[in-house]
Chains A and B, each alone.
Chain A
Amino acid sequence: EAGVAQSPRYKIIEKRQSVAFWCNPISGHATLYWYQQILGQGPKLLIQFQNNGVVDDSQLPKDRFSAERLKGVDSTLKIQPAKLEDSAVYLCASSLEGAKNIQYFGAGTRLSVL
């Protein structure tokens, strides 16, 4: 079974530029999550989707971050414009609708904002 796929693996941009990350969850997983993991910290939930609807985006900085999952499968997370403090690893995870406490994580995208 294929795992959660994320791309790119690494991205370096300058502050005020835009960046987008892509995630393809495990087939059949209705729930998709984006986390931000700052160096030395645990992952922090940014947004949770159930199919193509947003369940929780309370921790998403909506002035600069946006995410979509239009067809209820893959998802993109965008930052526009990026700030230095956005440097982090962005993790995508997915789970079955009936087993939200078992989340499968992708390898993440490491973002460096210079």
Chain B
Amino acid sequence: VQLVETGGGLVQPGGSLRLSCEVSGLTVSSSYMSWVRQAPGKGLEWVSVIYTGGSTYYADSVKGRFTISRDNSKNMLYLQMNSLRAEDTAVYYCATIPLPGIAAVGFYVWGQGTMVTVSS
């Protein structure tokens, strides 16, 4: 199983960016996929999740600005980030992690991450 994030970079405050996660070794449509971030010098922060049925959840800090989605035909996961702020600067990871209401069965995996810098 491999997750590879791309799409990070430097963006101005108020700008937009779309992150992609190429998934291999598992099927994105039948997996519970999340985005987690880590700001410089800070700890891990959960951002969003998409369930197999298409339900989505977001952290309050990104609700209304970020959108998680997937393309089943390409086996890809995405994070559309709008109205970006300096505090969104972080390494963004796509991952499979344990979730509420879902039996934990192991074999969780994370990507290497992609850096997003929001600065003028």
A and B part of one assembly: no
A residues whose Cβ falls under 8 Å from a Cβ of B: none
B residues whose Cβ falls under 8 Å from a Cβ of A: none
